[in-house]
Amino acid sequence: ALPDEIMEDIISRLPPKSVGQCRCVCKLWQAIIGRHEFIRVHCNRIRSLREESLIFTSYKFKEKSFFYDAHLTSAHQVFDKITVSATKLSFADYIGSWTRVYASCHGLLFVGEDMHKTFVLNPTTGEVREVSRWRSTLDR
């Protein structure tokens, strides 16, 4: 077997979707991928590749919202006719639980349903976490 450091280096060079799939291989790989240091290294490598991706949502159709991911060859392609195919992202357990995308950061999406329920989505891994509603100064 390869030492953990070598496996970590190999996995960190994979595209995000493949890293997400590697989490299911075994508990050791899941532990490696879950380490903060691995996440930092992987994010830095991905950012250095300069591959652009556009994540967008469709309007509600029959009470369901759908998210799509389109990989772009350059950021300028956003302003041109998009000729790449988009991949439908699956969050099956949460379909219909949100209606708006409020923000995005480092590949994560912050979505909600008129701020009653809010979620953080990771399109790469398919993970969804509900976020407790916070109190703002407007709520007081």
The per-residue pLDDT for range 73-127, each reduced to its tens digit, is 555 544 455 554 455 555 555 555 556 777 777 777 787 766 577 888 777 677 7
3-state secondary structure of 106: coil
Q: Which amino acid is at 91?
A: F
- What amino acid occupies position 48? S
68 vs 51: CA distance, rounded Å: 16
Task: Name every residue whose Cβ is closer than 8 Å to that of residue 119 and which is 6 or more positions away in sequence.
Answer: 94, 97, 98, 110, 111, 112, 128, 129, 130, 131
Q: Strand, helix or coil at 56?
A: strand
**What pLDDT shows up at residue 15?**
80
Q: What percent of the chain has pLDDT over 70?
A: 54
Predicted pLDDT of residue 38: 87
What is the reported pLDDT for 77?
Answer: 46
Comparison of pLDDT for 14 and 58, the residue scoring more: 14
Does position 34 have pLDDT exceeding 80, yes or no?
Answer: yes
Task: Note the pLDDT of residue 92.
Answer: 55
